Amino acid sequence: MSNEDSSTVTVSGDLTPGTKGQSAEPACTDSAHEARRHIGLRFTIIARLLRNNFDRQVVNLNVTRSQWAMIAVVSRVPGATQRTIAEALEMSEASAGRLIDRLCADGLLERRDRHDDRRARAVYLTPAAEPLLEKLASIARESEKRMFKGFSEDDLEALGSYLDRIYDNINRG
């Protein structure tokens, strides 16, 4: 038996998928592979922390993250169609429709006929949504302030650019 730790497995060569022995991408060094794994894990943890933090802050407002996202999109694009809202939230039109129906029933959104397209209906906030929107916007500002503490404007632009690249890479499949 060797003196090496038996729990350590060393793999040599490129295991990146490719065709006929050619890799699709250059092989990662061990340190690059570890960095990627660490970053991926951090994304997961940060997403969970953000969700939990949001849930704790809005527990008394009786609103879900999905509802808040819908209200925020409609506030930014008043008169948007269900399709436009679904695209903005990256959800199916059917799911967006159910969420819009729920928020209409709660008196926070309303659908109106469009004069330019009788098939589509425009979605707007109701006056009842305004106080909730103000509270949620305040919570969002405080969360962003805390999350980006110590970041310069250049840091935020670079981070945004990196995240956009990751997003594009994932969406391209």
Work out whether the CA dihedral 132, 66, 61, 52 comes out positive or negative.
negative
- The answer to whether the predicted template modeling score (pTM) of the entire model surpasses 0.85 is no
Compute the C-alpha angle 171/78/92, nearest 5°: 35
First to last CA, the chain: 45
Residue 111, SS3 per DSSP: strand
pLDDT at 24: 54
pLDDT at 86: 97
pLDDT at 29: 82
| CATH architecture of the region 60-171 | Orthogonal Bundle (1.10)
Q: What is the pLDDT along the chain (173 residues), one digit of tens a residue?
A: 444 443 333 333 333 444 444 445 556 788 888 888 999 999 999 999 999 998 899 889 989 989 999 999 999 999 999 999 999 999 999 999 999 999 999 999 999 998 888 788 999 999 999 999 999 999 999 999 999 999 999 999 999 999 999 999 998 86
pLDDT at 1: 43
